[in-house]
Amino acid sequence: MTPAAQLLIGLVFVPLSTALVAVLLPPRRRRWAVVLGGLAWPCLLVPLSMAVAREQSVVMVFGGWAPPLGIGWRLDALGLVVLWVHALAGIAALPSAWRRFDPDLPESGPFWSLWMILATGVNLALLAADLFNLYVALELTTLAAVALIATDDGIAALAAAMRYLLLAVLGSLMYVLGVGLVYAQTGSLAMHQPGIEALNNVALVLMLTGLMVKAAIFPLHVWLPHAYSNAPGPVAAIMAAVVGKAALVAFWRIWFETAEAPPAQLADFLGLIGAAALVYGAIAAYLQPRLKMVIAYSSISHFGFLLLLLPLASQQAFQGAGFHLLAHGLAKAAMFLAAANIVVVLGSDSIRHLPGLDKRMPLEAFTLALAGVTLIGLPPSGGFTGKWMLLSAAWETGGWFWLVLIVLSGLMSAAYVFRILALTCFHPARRAVHHLHPRPPKITSLAALTLALLAVVIGLYPHPVLDLLGAGMPGMVR
């Protein structure tokens, strides 16, 4: 078993064993164990990145039973990029979680174990090269995420968690029906199906719809805004950064890899859905009265943007979309962590309390500004690199409609980002907010700031990530 494959095992079993140790420990002493585990598994990413850079993808099969019999794992560049986002966002969210869930809170015991179970689920969803294993991984991630949302005991959070759970079960139901049909047609559950000329369309559509519910893509996004905005700060950050993206990566993999030759009209139709998500998300984000809702709807808009990869299926478009995944994940996690601190100090994240924020909480205001720059895709930031690659891909494949859409997406994101920035920095603080709660420790704001800075800096030096992504689209890599 190659050393790289052993690292893959570590990637899932380190967080899993930390979770088991956490459940074993008495509730008051779980925090330290989880922090150690949370800092340990990202270290495996360094050797794995080198392995993926060398051989394009690291493959592993359980028990030596080659598919279609056994379950296989495969780590390719796309999965690695989202794993890096998960590692960085996870570490950045730790200080905020450390402050929010200290041991004498009743729900802090379960929280810390669930935090590691969520990490296991996400890592597994990014590695699974087997359709049913992917379902089980996404189910684990969803259940852990719903429980984490419910740690905030408010009515809105509990209702949002319940709505997310019900819709996720519906999504999984459709997905498994699709997997069943795939098995009936090809007799194998592996994600890479050799020898079939085309996956039967009904199975493909069912699987993709199920994943669209989990990734909260436009028509099926209903659960996301309330879930993200009512969840505790660190939970919202990790969910926005990674949980939705794991489902989207699965969506891309099934599209490019399992479905040999997906029909072109379906690609354009999904592109249109992406366009609708883009516009709807931006408009909704512009109208929201609460900061966290603005950030949540911006996620819906950017997921629509990422869906444009399907009609523009070229190598360059894949690099652009993969890079945007990285930049957007980091920026979104930074914004939610900053928003969490704002809610702690101001008591509520409603837009009316924002004026004067740049003097009261300069670091948070600067994080929101920097992350906003990445969302709009202004030149130096990571968002620009992703947008530029997608634009030139659109130009090469002659997709004028997509080109105009991508260009307008930056404008639409600018609308709601500048609205927030104008409110935080330039509106005069009309009346002092009734009273300010004690400030969270400095490290939480610095963690959010480093994430936002990272999102901008990778724009200046994108080569390592682009070469990694350049190795090949999930479909083309045989």
Partner 1 sequence: MSAPLAVDVLLGLILVGLAAQVAIGEHLFRAIVFYVAFGLSMSVIWARLGAPDLALADAAIGAGLTGALMMVAFRRLVEIDPKQAQAQATRSSALAVLIGVLAAGMVATIGLTALTLEQQPGRAGLQVMETLGDTGLGNPITGVLLVFRGFDTLIEMTVLLTAFVGSRVMTTRSRFYVATIAGFQLPLVRTLVAVILPLAALIAMHLLWIGSDQPGGAFQAGSVLAGAGVLLLLTGTLLPASKSRALVRLALVAGVASLCVLVLAPMLRGQVAMAYLGRGSLLFAEALMMVSIATSLTLLFAGRPSLKVGRP
Partner 2 sequence: MISPWTTQILPPAVVLVSTLAAIVIFVAGEARQRLRIWVNLTAALLKLLLVVWIGLEVLAGTTFMFRFELLPGLELILHADALSILFASLSAVLWLVTTVYAIAYLEHSPNRARFFGFFSLCVSATMGIAMAGNLLTLFLFYELLTLTTWPLVVHNGTPEALAAGRSYLRYTLTGGVVLLTALVWLYGLAGNAVFTPGGFLAPLAAAHGDALTLIFVMLVAGFGVKAGLIPLHGWLPKAMVAPAPVSALLHAVAVVKAGAFGIIRTVEDVYGLELVAELGMRLPLITVASWTIVIGSLLALREHHLKRRLAYSTVSQVSYIVLGIAVGGLLATSGGMVHLVHQGLMKITLFFCAGIFGLLLGVKRIDQLDGLGRRMPWVSGAFTVAALGMIGLPPLVGFISKWYLASGALAAGMPLVLAVLITSALLNAAYFLPLVRRLWLNPPGTLVEAPIEIGRLPRLALMSSAVATAALVVVLGVLAAHPLSPLNWVVKIAQGYAP
Partner 3 sequence: MTSAVFVLVAAAIFGLGVHGLLVSAHIMRKLLALNLMLSALFLLLIVVPATIDGRPDPVPQALVLTGIVIAVSTTAFALALMVRLFRKQGHASIHPDIDPRLLGRKAPSKANKTAQGDDR
Looking at 16, 52, 250, 370, which residue binds partner 1 (CB under 8 A)? 16
Q: Is 6 in the site for partner 1 (CB under 8 A)?
A: yes
Q: Which does 151 bind (CB under 5 to 8 A by kind): partner 2, partner 1, partner 3, none?
A: partner 1
Contact track, partner 3, 207-246, x by CB under 8 A: -------------------x--xx----------------
Q: Is the peptide bond before 68 cis (omega within 30 degrees of 0)?
A: yes
**Do 362 and 333 touch, CB atoms closer than 8 A?**
no
Q: Which does 462 bind (CB under 5 to 8 A by kind): partner 3, partner 2, partner 1, none?
A: partner 2
Instruction: Kindly give, in sequence order, each residue whose CB lies less than 8 Å from that of residue 265, ignoring residues fewer than 6 positions away.
Output: none
How many amino acids of this chain bind partner 2 (CB under 8 A)? 30
Q: Which does 403 bind (CB under 5 to 8 A by kind): partner 3, partner 2, partner 1, none?
A: partner 2
Q: Is 363 in the site for partner 2 (CB under 8 A)?
A: no
Site for partner 1 in 182-221 (CB under 8 A): 183-189, 202
Q: How far is the CB of 84 from partner 2 (least distance, A)?
A: 19
Instruction: Kindly give, in sequence order, each residue whose CB lies less than 8 Å from that of residue 263, ignoring residues fewer than 6 positions away.
Output: 201
Q: 69 vs 66, 124, 188, 189, 369, CA distance in Å? A: 6, 19, 8, 8, 51
- In a 13 Å sphere around the CA of 299, the CA atoms on its Cβ side amount to 36
Token pair of 131, please?
């359709």
| CA separation for the pair 58, 5 (Å, rounded) | 7
Looking at 113, 123, 385, 409, which residue binds partner 1 (CB under 8 A)? 113
Q: Is 156 in the site for partner 1 (CB under 8 A)?
A: no
CB atoms within 10 A of CB 261: 10
What's the alpha-carbon Rg for the chain, to the nearest Å? 21
Token pair of 394, please?
């659109």
| CA separation for the pair 183, 205 (Å, rounded) | 15
Q: Is 184 in the site for partner 3 (CB under 8 A)?
A: yes
Q: Which does 27 bind (CB under 5 to 8 A by kind): partner 3, partner 2, partner 1, none?
A: partner 1
Instruction: Kindly give, in sequence order, each residue whose CB lies less than 8 Å from that of residue 131, ignoring residues fewer than 6 positions away.
Output: 179, 182, 189, 190, 191, 207, 254, 258
Q: Which stretch binds partner 1 (CB under 8 A): 79-87, 102-110, 230-238, 310-318?
A: 102-110
Q: Which does 63 bind (CB under 5 to 8 A by kind): partner 2, partner 1, partner 3, none?
A: partner 1
Q: Which does 6 bind (CB under 5 to 8 A by kind): partner 1, partner 2, partner 3, none?
A: partner 1
Q: Which does 230 bind (CB under 5 to 8 A by kind): partner 2, partner 3, partner 1, none?
A: partner 3
Cα 470 from chain centroid (whole Å): 21
| CA separation for the pair 31, 109 (Å, rounded) | 8
Q: Which does 295 bind (CB under 5 to 8 A by kind): partner 3, partner 1, partner 2, none?
A: none
Angle between helices 463-470 and 77-100 (to 10 degrees): 130
Three-state secondary structure call for residue 321: helix
Q: Is 13 in the site for partner 1 (CB under 8 A)?
A: yes
Looking at 32, 62, 418, 461, which residue binds partner 1 (CB under 8 A)? 62
Q: Is 395 in the site for partner 1 (CB under 8 A)?
A: no
Q: How far is the CB of 320 from partner 3 (least distance, A)?
A: 36
Detail the DSSP E strand segments found in 311-470.
none
CB atoms within 10 A of CB 210: 28
Token pair of 193, please?
């199906």
Looking at 89, 203, 333, 391, which residue binds partner 2 (CB under 8 A)? 391
Q: Which does 410 bind (CB under 5 to 8 A by kind): partner 2, partner 3, partner 1, none?
A: partner 2
Site for partner 3 in 279-308 (CB under 8 A): 290
Instruction: Kindly give, in sequence order, each residue whose CB lies less than 8 Å from that of residue 329, ignoring residues fewer than 6 positions away.
Output: 82, 85, 89, 240, 241, 242, 245
Three-state secondary structure call for residue 199: coil
Q: Which secondary-structure segment (H or E) carries 159?
A: helix 155-186
Q: Is 169 in the site for partner 3 (CB under 8 A)?
A: yes
Looking at 146, 237, 247, 423, which residue binds partner 1 (CB under 8 A)? 146
Q: Which does 155 bind (CB under 5 to 8 A by kind): partner 2, partner 3, partner 1, none?
A: partner 3
Looking at 23, 53, 429, 453, which residue binds partner 1 (CB under 8 A)? 23
Binding residues for partner 2 (CB under 8 A): 358, 373, 378-380, 385, 388-389, 391-392, 394-396, 403-404, 407-408, 410-411, 414, 418, 422, 425-428, 460, 462-463, 466
Binding residues for partner 3 (CB under 8 A): 132, 136, 139, 143, 146-147, 150, 153-156, 158-163, 165-166, 169-170, 173, 176-177, 179-181, 183-184, 189, 226, 229-230, 290
